[in-house]
Amino acid sequence: MYLGSPTLTFLHVAISLIGILSGIVMGLGLLAGKRLDGLTSFFLWSTILTSVTGFIFFPFHGVTPGIVVGILSLIALAFACVARYTKRMEGGWRKAYVITAMIALYFNVFVLIVQSFQKVPALHALAPTQQEAPFKIAQLTCLLIFAIWTILATMKFRESTATA
């Protein structure tokens, strides 16, 4: 089903940016050993909504990289929700939660970079086909930041130190 319109596109982008911003704060909270329960729930739901609106607000023309990222994000989010709410982050589920929540945030930022290089004229001029070095450097830098951030968050967000 396709509902596309400029208003729905704006709504999808707004939800995505809200998910990214709340996810960044959530991820920083993980580094500080803080649970941030309300904000984490907000991040998880807004990020789920980002993928869902991406599927229903835009036309389907076969499997695209955006569809694949959306599906992978929903899989990561499902694991994050189960780990956090069903398994209550007990034992290995704590690490599973941190890793899958950070993967979902990474996917949102990954798509933000892709969309920025497609829609922002100055960035598009630097990498019109997204095969050019500026785009690849931006994505590689993002991946490295998230890999390091996730490793540190997994080490810092331990059961004995995590607080509400």
Residue extents of the structural domains in the chain: 6-156
What are the start-end ranges of the H helices in 1-132?
Answer: 6-31, 37-57, 65-81, 92-119, 121-126
Distance CA 157, CA 146 (A): 16
Predicted model pTM: 0.93
Query: Which amino acid is it at 112?
Result: L
Residue from 102, 105, 79 nearest 92 by CA = 79
Res 60: pLDDT: 81
Burial of 25 (0-12, 13-18, 19+ CB in 10 A): middle
Characterize 109-119 residue by residue with b for buried, 16 or more Cβ atoms within 10 angstroms of its Cβ, and e for exposed: bbbbbbeebee
Res 57: pLDDT: 87
Residue from 60, 153, 72, 159 nearest 111 by CA = 72
Beta bridge partners of 67: none
Q: What tens-digit pLDDT sequence spans the chain (164 residues)?
A: 455 588 899 999 999 999 999 999 999 999 999 999 999 999 999 999 999 999 998 888 889 898 999 999 999 999 999 999 999 999 999 999 999 999 999 999 999 999 999 999 999 999 999 999 999 999 999 999 999 999 999 999 986 566 66
